[in-house]
Structure 1
Amino acid sequence: MALSESSSGIPAHELPFPEIVELNVGGQVYITRYSTLISIPDSLLGEMFTRKSAEGLAHDTKGRFFVDRDGFLFRYILDYMRDQQLVLPDHFPERGRLKREAEFFNLPELVKMLAPKISRQNSLGDEGCQSDPEESSPTTDASHSLATLGAAAAACARLAQEVGSRDGGDGRRSGFITIGYRGSHTLGRDSHTDAKFRRVARIMVCGKALLAKEVFGDTLNESRDPDRPPERYTSRYYLKFTFLEQAFDKLANAGFSMVACNSTGTCAFAHEQTDDKIWTSYTEYVFYRE
């Protein structure tokens, strides 16, 4: 027997939107239930999808609803709207940006969850450092507040020192980036001058996603691994250009130095009637920043 009403309590024939909604958020496609989008009525999504008509909402070329925001961070926004709980990966590095997204989508409770806090045990929590006396409990006396602020300041200083020693004195993250390429060239018996030398089809990038994006920016193609978290490693990125020296310049400008390289090669005859040989090789360059 078919249901006459949707999960949102509205008769199905009166819904201006489908029960299953496709969203394009910053190039990332999400598919969710209509009831999830309107679960928080005062939110931006709740206001968008409780109107009487879908007219006026932006659409992409495939007819999906389009929202021009961070597509990677939207997964946490959507996850929060399902059950109003916040679950983040360990050592999540983009709390500030996620808080800004929560403010845009008008989710005040999520904004509070992402705000820095000080635990009652006078120790710094995972959320970061905060030293605003107005945030303290009304029952806390002045001496206890000063002790709390002092402990928080010391914890912040220790945290800053640890980050500085780990990421370098200038605050940059340390780590390795490896770039590799497969090249080929044809060489005749007499080493003709018209031989094609080091024909590079694609320059691949391996390393931590956050470092790769920092170094190469918009020239990094992430299409083969678009959902990689910033702190995770990947070997599926590649560059939009094919000039090794351009990649070297970007790495050098970001403070990286080459620490190792290796190469392997094979050859085969180009044609049975000639002595021309086609050489193919795979080369890797390992860069490190302290």
Structure 2
Amino acid sequence: MSEFTEVVELNVGGVFYTTSLKTLIQEQESLLCQWFDGTQEPLIKDAKGKYFIDRDGVLFRYILDFLRDQSIILPQTFRERERLIREATYYGLPKLVDALKPQQFDPKRGYITVGYRGSFAFGKDVLSDVKFRKITRILVCGRVTLCRDVFGATLNESRDPDHGETDRYTARFYLKHSSIEQAFDMLQDQGFYLASSCASGTAGTFSPSDLKPGVDAEESRWNHYNEFVFCRD
């Protein structure tokens, strides 16, 4: 190791790096450590005296990041994960390879959001003859496999046909019935619990001219939207 200085200059596939010897020998079983602790035959040098590694120079920055911090943070738009796994494998960094592999998730865990738009139907005497809550449609959002497991045949998928991706998410399902209590019971039976909810206000102001023909003005005044987030962990 005495032939190497504490600061090492590298040429990786035409991209130049400057790092410490301590960083390069951080992982004792790695190829980099073997090069720079004298175990393996030393690397050749380029015309400027930099140690030359004939690998992907751009991706090498992530190799150094991992050696420095023992962790890896990739940009959100990063699209070369498989190539980086190949580089990590070449350098003999199994911990980095494991960190780069997609995280396994429990298919039974997740969230389902149930929402509905409703109103109160009124009779001739308005408040004295309320017909209670009126729900037109119950919307379901979440991972497709979870939604199917919970709601089964009551789930209407006509507006969101299966695209072949088993773990995709959708916000276009709705139920074939309008009983919000039945939907809640089905979620509870499958081990979900209510994690959060929100609701719009009622008795909002509106212009009578905005109403469609045949729509009751008093009923429209009490339109509201509710949303419930259920979780299973």
TM normalised by structure 1 equals 0.38
